[in-house]
Amino acid sequence: MKDSEILNPIREIKVGEKTVAVREMCWGDMLEFFRKISAHAGKLFTVDGAGKVKTDLTLEGLTGMITGVEELTNFLIVKSTGETAESFGGLPMGTAAEILDAALDLNTTAIKKVLALGRHFKGVGAGAAITLARPTTS
């Protein structure tokens, strides 16, 4: 394995005559992904005054979650491949799932590395997790 593959892992997936390269998202895209996840999680969970997390599963929340899944999936695939969301629309389900699996695998590995850094910020980690769980309103 080359050093560049360790520092910036790539998975290549054959799609017909074309090869799609799947990579880890860049830092800015990863932060945006976290913001999007936080916003969607905020539709399903609330934190009460005592700091307890409560589930708010309503039809509206469920609809938002389904919409969110599409938004998050498209964001992850587009940012991991550099391709457009439209280019994946006509792919066979198995091929699209293979690309999504590679994007999830590479990026969740990166997320685990980022979260592992939390050991350096023990007191800050809980506050950051609560901040991520509370979507901002703008």
Q: Hey, is 45 helix, strand or coil?
A: strand
- Please state, in angstroms and as integers, the Cα–Cα distance from residue 93 to each residue in 31, 89, 90, 99, following that order: 28, 9, 9, 10
In a domain, 14, yes or no: yes
pLDDT tens-digit readout, 22-35: 999 998 998 898 88
Distance CA 16, CA 39 (A): 36
Terminal-residue alpha carbon distance, the chain: 45
Range of the domain at 21: 3-133
Give the phi and the psi of residue 113 in degrees, each rounded to 5. -65, -40
CATH value at residue 112: 3.30.2220
DSSP state of 64: H
What's the residue count for the chain? 138
Domain count, the chain: 1
> In a structure prediction context, what are the per-residue pLDDT tens digits for the chain, which is 138 residues long?
454 445 567 889 988 888 999 999 998 998 898 888 877 777 777 777 887 877 766 676 666 666 678 888 899 999 999 998 888 888 888 888 899 889 988 888 777 777 777 666 655 555 555 555 555 555
Domain annotation covers residue 138: no
- What gap in Å lies between CA 10 and CA 47, rounded to an integer? 38
